[in-house]
Amino acid sequence: MAPTKNDEKPQPGDLIEIFRSGYQHWAIYVGNGFVVHLAPPTEHANAGACSMISVTCDRATVKKEEIWNVVGSDKYSINNLLDENYEPRPIREILREAESLVGNKLPYCVFRGNCEHFVTELRYGKPESRQVRKAMEIGVGVGVAAIVGFGVLALAATLFGSKDKEKQTK
């Protein structure tokens, strides 16, 4: 079993971040060794790159499973990432809603409705995904770098092209 970062014991309502290969899966701890999570068909412990296929899924199932069955041999940590931004909802409400959703099939979209959106909405009433935000920032950064790179190349070509023309006219 993989330990948490600090070997902390999760409390009901805590968000659990599970470090898979290339992405993080998220669950919410509901007590007695169980978590509730939004799982597309390809999401399971030790799924590795195969779980990346979840980007093609449009539905996912809300599951209640033992934490160690979800974590597998991956590392995890308690990560109530938005506590500084939002007041967590009352624990009773979080747990009641999480339990009421178990077994439901929900719309799934890696960009607008993934497992991280699911658990942050349960805890804070706000569906947010830091992973999506980071991916978008990286994508925008790469796009800007490409535009800047093309601009520099175009400028260099213009400058060197002008110098070549000057040499030809002398």
Q: What is the pLDDT of residues 60-98, one digit of tens each?
A: 999 999 999 999 999 999 999 999 999 999 999 999 999
Would you place residue 130 in the very low, low, confident or very high pLDDT band (cuts 50, 70, 90)? confident
Has residue 5 been placed in a domain? no
Tell me, yes or no, whether 96 and 170 share the same domain: no
| Distance in angstroms (rounded) separating the CA atoms of residues 42 and 36 | 16
Out of 44, 50, 109, 115, pick the active-site residue.
115
Contact 107, 62 (CB under 8 A): no
Instruction: Tell me the sheet residues that pair with 24.
Output: 19
Coil vs helix vs strand at 70: helix
Average predicted confidence (pLDDT) for the chain: 79
Tell me, yes or no, whether 28 and 96 share the same domain: yes
pLDDT at residue number 168:
55
pLDDT at residue number 133:
58
Tell me, yes or no, whether 69 and 149 share the same domain: no
- Beta-sheet pairing, 15-20 with 23-31: antiparallel
- Give me the mean pLDDT over the 10-37 stretch: 95
pLDDT at residue number 105:
95
Is pTM beyond 0.85? Reply is: no
117 part of the active site: no
pLDDT one-digit tens code per residue, 31-60: 999 999 999 887 766 554 444 555 668 899
Would you place residue 159 in the very low, low, confident or very high pLDDT band (cuts 50, 70, 90)? low
Total domains in the fold of the chain: 2
57 part of the active site: no
What backbone phi and psi angles, to 5 degrees, belong to 128?
Answer: -130, 150
Out of 37, 50, 57, 109, pick the active-site residue.
37
Give the pair of three-digit tokens for residue 66.
């033992």
pLDDT at residue number 144:
41
Specify the DSSP element, H or E, that contains 158: helix 130-169
Contact 98, 121 (CB under 8 A): no
* Domain residue limits at 62: 15-128
> Which of 49-53, 115-119, 121-125 has the least mean pLDDT?
49-53
Would you place residue 145 in the very low, low, confident or very high pLDDT band (cuts 50, 70, 90)? very low
50 part of the active site: no
Tell me how many helices (H) and strands (E) the chain has: 4, 6
Give the pair of three-digit tokens for residue 137.
């920032």
Has residue 9 been placed in a domain? no
Within the chain, what is the greatest distance between any pair of CA atoms? 86
- Give me the mean pLDDT over the 162-169 stretch: 52
Has residue 1 been placed in a domain? no
As a dihedral over the C-alpha atoms of residue 90, residue 94, residue 96, residue 97, rounded to 10 degrees, the angle is 130
